Amino acid sequence: MAESTKTMLLQPGLSYDRPEELADAVERIFTLSLAARRLGPQSCVLLKPNLLAKHPPEHAVTTHPAVVEAVVRALRRRGVERILLADSCGGLYNEGGMRAIYRVSGLTELCGRLGVELWDKTTSAPRTCAGALVHEFNLITPVHLCDFIIDLPKFKTHVMTGMTAAVKNLFGCIPGLQKAEMHMRFPDRERFGQMLCDLAGAIAPDLTILDAIVGMEGDGPAGGSPRALGLLLGGEDVWQIDLAVAALMGLDPQKVPYLAAGIRSGVCAEAFEPEMLASGSDSLKPISDWKLPGSFSSLTFSDHYPTGLRWAGPLVTKLAAPRPVIRRTDCIGCGKCAEICPGHTIQLKGGKAHIDPTGCIRCFCCHEMCPVKAIAVRRIPLFRL
């Protein structure tokens, strides 16, 4: 394996408050990358952070501005003049909404100071690809405009997919509520995972730098708890980086739908191997006591059927699957969950959200978008592990 295709894992107790150390760590990732040697004054670079919704950096939902700043400085050292930063949030996609997200996440100030263009337009265009399931994606315009894409994910758990990192972050390149349409088109985890695998092939970022300085454990990607890890991962191969994340979280890649799809498609190895680490990396050790989402099982639901119910197969699978539950006392009636719900199965009644479970496809977009963590993910007690 060529050194430039390996993954750099750096864990010298990195902190957002020590920008020089962070800049050195990011520089080491750039130096490893063969693709980064193409960068120069002629380049147009897209930075794609994880900006799920309006959250300040300390919530650990979004990519921290200190990481983005270190990346911008590495690009400037290589003479890059045009840098765009863009994402599309999970809910309604409009200029005002995106500006608010950029501001709260600390990126408006940063981009203004460093001369980075913040993309607040909402245009998009199709891109064809040779995916196993999807042959065309509609992607936000900067993906088409830029000739070098840097994926800047956050290290987080995810109630639907177990984890979100380099591959899942690319879902943000699909504009706004079209993401909800993708959930409706591919409601089961296997096909949704294959769609993400096809999307990664369609976008093919040149470099990934993953912010795990403070990650999120528990009911991520928005409802979990921040956890300081002091860790940065980087490299050219999104699959290797996500395998490393799975290993750090103690997740079996076959149980992460999009990694399983990548393995089936032959683009992802079966597990992270020590030889995938670049020279100079710190060694990879699973994080002790890492909390996965409470509802997430590393085993298939059928492994946990009560013996007497195995005959019921698909019905039991449906019953056993985790589901969103509104905590009425916490709900502030903002309506964001209803706005995002691909099944149109949430209504506001008496100022509180109400889910009609018959139309729910268990995508957990509502859980991701609730600003006050008022949506829990639960199983009926019979099927709890």
Which residues make up the interface to ligand SF4 (CB under 6 A)? 324, 326, 331-337, 340-343, 345-346, 353, 355, 360-366, 370, 372, 374-375
Task: Specify the residue, 232 or 341, whose C-beta has the smaller distance to ligand SF4.
Answer: 341
Q: Which residues touch 233 (CB under 8 Å, ≥6 apart)?
A: 7, 8, 9, 10, 155, 208, 209, 210, 212, 241, 244, 245
Task: Specify the residue, 66 or 370, whose C-beta has the smaller distance to ligand SF4.
Answer: 370
CB of 75 to ligand SF4, least distance (A): 36
Task: Specify the residue, 88 or 208, whose C-beta has the smaller distance to ligand SF4.
Answer: 88
DSSP letters, 325-376, are: EE-TTT-----HHHHH-TT--EEEETTEEEE-GGG-----HHHHH-TT--EE
Task: Specify the residue, 256 or 375, whose C-beta has the smaller distance to ligand SF4.
Answer: 375
Peptide bond before 371: cis, by omega within 30 degrees of 0? no
Neighbours of 290 (CB within 10 A): 16
Task: Specify the residue, 65 or 343, whose C-beta has the smaller distance to ligand SF4.
Answer: 343
Q: What gap in Å lies between CA 286 and CA 288, rounded to an integer?
A: 6
Q: Are 91 and 259 in contact (CB under 8 A)?
A: no
Choose among 69, 66, 72, 65: nearest CA to 104. 65
Q: What gap in Å lies between CA 336 and CA 354, rounded to an integer?
A: 12
Task: Specify the residue, 143 or 365, whose C-beta has the smaller distance to ligand SF4.
Answer: 365
Q: Are 338 and 348 in contact (CB under 8 A)?
A: yes
Phi and psi, residue 376, nearest 5° = -95, 160
CB of 128 to ligand SF4, least distance (A): 28
Task: Specify the residue, 84 or 341, whose C-beta has the smaller distance to ligand SF4.
Answer: 341
Cα dihedral 57, 287, 204, 199, rounded to 10, equals: -90
Task: Specify the residue, 111 or 341, whose C-beta has the smaller distance to ligand SF4.
Answer: 341
CB of 353 to ligand SF4, least distance (A): 4
Phi and psi, residue 50, nearest 5° = -95, 105
Choose among 99, 235, 253: nearest CA to 161. 253
CB of 25 to ligand SF4, least distance (A): 36
Specify which residues 355 forms β-bridges with. Answer: 346
